Amino acid sequence: MTTGELITRASIWLAMLCWTAAIISRGKPSAKWYWAAGFDIYCLHILFAYGVFYEWSNETAWDQTAQQTAEVTGLETGVGLIVNFTFAAILLFDVIQQWRGRKTFRNLVDAFVIFMIVNGAIVFGHGPVRVYGAALILALVLVARKHLARSRSTTTRGSS
């Protein structure tokens, strides 16, 4: 594995970890730092992927994405590339809104991030990547469960 390949792979793992940490720490000042770091590292991932794997060619990126999608789903389409760019644009908007102290579509953006982790690490991932993705999702599920239980107990206590 070349240094560029390693940076490409490691950067997406680190970005996913940052987003997971941000979702887990929602409501704390550190959350927006994790979120912004995840976005920055994701941009690094895109740059390295384009340079190392696609030789700065949109056509190559589309074709390789279509091939990978066909191997997993049976559908030969490069639309995943558009999903990735849309994801980056939504994250950029969300990061800016958070740093400006403005309200964001928090649950919707979090759901999109989780969707991307599931698809990138579990559906399209192999070996350790799949295990890593499953561990991140498990952490999010456990935290969500804890928050649900806490909000139910608060609601129950408040209504008695």
Give this prediction's pTM.
0.86
C-alpha to C-alpha distances, 51 to 19, 55, 56, 76, nearest whole angstrom: 24, 5, 5, 23
Count of structural domains, the chain: 1
Q: Which pLDDT tens digit goes with each residue over 63-106?
A: 999 999 999 999 999 999 999 999 999 999 999 999 998 888 88
- The pLDDT of 42-57, averaged and rounded, is 96
Q: How confident is the model at residue 157 (pLDDT cuts 50, 70, 90)?
A: low
Measured from the Cβ of residue 80, the count of other Cβ atoms closer than 10 Å reads 19
Is residue 160's pLDDT more than 60?
Answer: no
